[in-house]
Amino acid sequence: MPEIPELQHVARILTDQLAGRPITSIDVQKPIVIRLPREDFEAGLLGAQVRSVQRLGKFLLFHTDRDSVLAVNPMLTGRFQWISGPDGKQKPHARTCFTLRFLDDDRPLGIRYIDERYLGKVYLVDAEDLDHVPVLNEQGPDALDPDLTLDVFLKRLKRYRGQVKNALVNAKFIAGIGNAYSDEILFTAGIHPFTKISTLSDERRTRLYEAMRETLDWAAEIAANEIGRKIDRKPRDFLNVHRKGGRPCPRCESAISEVSPNRRVTSFCRTCQPS
């Protein structure tokens, strides 16, 4: 699942490359991901100019000059890919759902939305109706939102029961964090992923907030360097614990634990995150 560090960079690159350019063609290959009639999708986008691409939680929002927004919820496996890489053409991915081409004099410019499992959801709405987009309309503040201060975070956390990892991946609590970065944040904070929120001291709750910001900032910089223009990449090798089960913890060198309750892989260090 793409999360804040990757999506933040992808939104920036898409804005750099696409802002001000009109969409010259739309090919829909797998309409299943598009949550409106295909004709409306095509008519709504053809000729429209992208003004900017914004990341909000795990959504990518393409704002257009028609005051409409192409809202993409990539879910587990959705991602974008350029139709042409820096070194020429890129073969279409078998799981391409739709392709948008943009006006450019010098080169073929366009993006494909690809999705291995067709679980992503794509909407085209008037900007004023953005808060009707499912999931987006229910999500809490973005993890990087400047208004999400420590105070706001602590107040929101009080409303949640159960295990701390479950809260971190819950977009209604805070948006943009998924399975991988929740593990990384908890490692940074030194908190066991299955610890009950109710047992966390104020000090540890504060540490959790700081670890969230530190970890996302740290990862965003590395992810941006590793992705570059290859926006379909999701670099994760550099992570400390997530999916590193059995390998030595980078802090204490004891073996990293990996468990999969509810088929969701959770990785952590029992020494660095005892409780």
The contact set with Zn ion (CB under 5 A) reads 249, 251-252, 269, 271-272
Our CB check for Zn ion shows the closer of 160 and 194 to be 194
Q: How far apart are CA 58 and CA 6, in angstroms?
A: 10
Nearer to Zn ion, 57 or 190 (CB): 190
User: How many Cα atoms within 13 Å fall on the side-chain side of residue 198?
Assistant: 2
Q: Tell me how far, at minimum, the Cβ of 267 lies from Zn ion, in Å.
A: 11
Indicate the residue among 31 and 250 with the shorter CB distance to Zn ion.
Answer: 250
Residue 71 phi, psi (nearest 5): -105, 120
Minimum distance of Zn ion from residue 189's CB (angstroms) = 13
Q: Cβ(250)–Cβ(240) under 8 Å?
A: yes
CB of 254 to Zn ion, least distance (A): 5
Q: Is the dihedral of CA 260, 266, 269, 272 positive or negative?
A: negative
Closer residue to Zn ion (CB): 67 or 253:
253
Shortest distance in whole angstroms from residue 18 CB to Zn ion:
43
- Can you spell out the DSSP letters for 231-257? TT----TT-SSTT-TTSBPTTT-SBPE
Question: How many CB atoms sit inside 10 A of residue 252's CB?
Answer: 10
CB burial class (10 A; 0-12, 13-18, 19+) of residue 159? exposed
| Closest by Cα among 189, 157, 191 to 174 | 157
Smallest distance, Zn ion to C-beta of residue 181, A: 18
Nearer to Zn ion, 70 or 249 (CB): 249
Minimum Å gap between C-beta 252 and Zn ion is 3
Q: Are 155 and 211 in contact (CB under 8 A)?
A: no
Q: Which is nearer to Zn ion, 88 or 246 (CB)?
A: 246
